[in-house]
Amino acid sequence: MRPMRFGVLGTVEVWRGDDRLDVGTPRNRAVLARLLLSPGRVNPVDQLIDDLWEGCPPPQALSSLRTFICRLRRVVEPPAQEPGRPSVLITEPRGYVLRVDEAALDSARFEELLRQARVAADPRTALALIDEASELWRGPAYAEFAHTLWARGEVARLQELRLGATEHRLDTLLALGRHAEAVPELEAHARAQPIREEGWRLLALGLYRSSRQGDALAVLSEARRYLAGELGVDPGPELRKLEADILSQTSELDLPPAPVAIRKPIVRLRCLGRDDQLATAGAAMAAAESGTGGSLLFDGVPGAGKTQLLRGVEALADMRGFQTAWAQGHPLEREYEYGVARQIFEPILYCLPAQERRHLLSGTLEPAADIVWHNRPSSGGPDALHALYRLAVRLAERVPLLIAIDDLQWCDPGSLRWLAYLARRVEHVPLLVTATRATGVPSGDDQLLESLCALFGLVPLGGLPGEAAAALAAELLGAEPEPAFIAACLRETGGNTLLLTEHMKARGAGKRSTSIERWVAGQLRHAGPGAAALARAVATLDHAAEFHAVADLAGLPDSQAAAALSALVGMGILGDESPLRFNQPVVRQAVIEGVRAGVPQFALSP
Compute how many other C-beta atoms are within 10 angstroms of the C-beta atom of residue 575: 14
Contact 309, 464 (CB under 8 A): no
Pair type for strands 95-98 and 294-300: unpaired
CA 488 centroid distance within chain: 40
- Total residues found in the chain within this entry: 606
Q: Are 367 and 333 in contact (CB under 8 A)?
A: no
What does each C-alpha distance from 19 to 16, 75, 331, 594 come to in angstroms? 5, 12, 64, 74
Cα separation, 378 vs 395, in Å, equals: 24
Domain 1-174 class in CATH: mainly alpha
Give the pLDDT confidence score for residue 81 in this predicted structure. Answer: 63
Helix (H, G, I), strand (E, B) or coil at 322: coil
Q: Which CATH superfamily is domain 275-460 in?
A: P-loop containing nucleotide triphosphate hydrolases (3.40.50.300)
Angle at 444 (CA atoms; ends 443, 445), nearest 5 degrees: 90
Q: Burial code of 256-269, b = ≥16 C-beta within 10 A, e = fewer?
A: eeeeeeeeeeeeee
Residue 273 φ/ψ region, left for φ over 0, alpha for ψ in the -120 to 50 degree band, beta for the rest: left
pLDDT of 378 reads: 57
Q: What are the C-alpha distances in Å from 119 to residues 125, 322, 323, 358, 425?
A: 10, 9, 10, 20, 20
Q: For residue 194, say if its preceding peptide bond is cis, omega within 30 degrees of 0.
A: no
State which residues of the chain have pLDDT below 70.
Answer: 1, 80-84, 121, 256-270, 353-355, 377-380, 595, 597-606
DSSP strand pairing (89-91 vs 19-20): unpaired
Q: In CATH terms, is domain 177-250 a member of 1.25.40.10?
A: yes
**Three-state DSSP class for residue 81:** coil
Distance CA 501, CA 489 (A): 9
User: What DSSP state is assigned to residue 230?
Assistant: I
Partnered with residue 16 across adjacent β-strands are 4, 19
Residue 260 has a pLDDT of 44
- Assign 7 to helix, strand or coil: strand
Instruction: For the chain, give every domain's residue range.
Output: 1-174, 177-250, 275-460, 466-602
Please give, one letter per residue, the 3-state secondary structure of 532-579. HHHHHHHHHHHHHCCHHHHHHHHCCCHHHHHHHHHHHHHCCCECCCCC
The sheet carrying 43-44 orders its strands as 43-44, 95-98, 89-91
- CB-CB contact of 461 with 440 (8 Å): no
pTM of the model: 0.57
The predicted structure's pLDDT at residue 442: 77
Cα atoms found within 13 Å of the Cα of residue 150, Cβ hemisphere only: 21
CB 190 within 8 A of CB 219: yes
